[in-house]
Chain A
């Protein structure tokens, strides 16, 4: 099946710094990508829907100025956590929709574990 990659897989940063996470669809074009956050022993929570060439749609309670999303191409979406704080420590996972060849399937990336000290 199609592959979605994320980079980095793990990141540790100091409080107040910004962290960028990349999500790439490796063998399909994803006009829509999703960003999720998962706290320890919690279920996955959708943060935002990223649409290529337009502004992301954020879920209620997610600060759009803190979690900047850019979907500049059909294969790349980035999530930047600005001025990160310890409470932002979490597991961030992206996914992309593959609608090529009649398929309509979502593929998830492996996730990025962010630790803010």
Chain B
């Protein structure tokens, strides 16, 4: 079992839909959880950074961490075509980062 599992997609949704992106992990030592958005051939940009369990909201984005289930989610409300990108989850116990493979999201107008 890989340490971090993430469905590669692509996930196709119409504009305005609520998007749910998820990752599961096996290492219970992970404490820091991140979501990155990466446009094609561009560097990833950090979207959300969460420590331990709980929810964090920033504009249209909400990150959830459920450590008991080893499951993290990123919700995007009112999705836009400009949200079309690859979304990477990443997590760490100390300073070593473990990434998911990324989920490609396609938002159609």
Give the chain A neighbours of B90 by CB distance below 8 A: 43-44
Query: Known contacts A44-B90, A46-B43; is A105 also within 8 Å of B102 by CB?
Result: yes
In the complex, the answer to whether B97 meets A111 with C-beta atoms within 8 Å is yes
- Quick check: is B46 within 8 A (CB to CB) of the other chain? yes
Give the chain B neighbours of A46 by CB distance below 8 A: 43-45
A49–B97 Cα gap in the complex (Å)? Answer: 19
Of chain A, the residue at the smallest CB distance from B98 is A108
Of the stretches B12-20, B22-30, B33-41, B68-76, the one at the interface is B33-41
Chain B binding surface SS class: strand
- Quick check: is A79 within 8 A (CB to CB) of the other chain? no
In the complex, the answer to whether B95 meets A1 with C-beta atoms within 8 Å is no
- Number of A-B residue pairs, CB cutoff 8 Å, is 54
Of chain B, the residue at the smallest CB distance from A110 is B96
A48–B92 Cα gap in the complex (Å)? Answer: 22
Query: Known contacts A44-B34, A106-B86; is A97 also within 8 Å of B41 by CB?
Result: yes
In the complex, the answer to whether A38 meets B95 with C-beta atoms within 8 Å is yes
The contact string, 1 if C-beta is below 8 Å from chain A, for chain B 86-104, is 1010101011110101101
Of chain B, the residue at the smallest CB distance from A97 is B41
Of chain B, the residue at the smallest CB distance from A47 is B43
Of chain B, the residue at the smallest CB distance from A99 is B41
Chain A residues 59 to 101 lying within 8 A of chain B, measured CB to CB, are 59, 91, 93, 97, 99
Binding site for B on A (CB under 8 A): 1, 32, 34, 38-46, 49, 59, 91, 93, 97, 99, 104-106, 108, 111
Binding site for A on B (CB under 8 A): 8, 32, 34, 36, 38, 40-46, 49, 86, 88, 90, 92, 94-97, 99, 101-102, 104
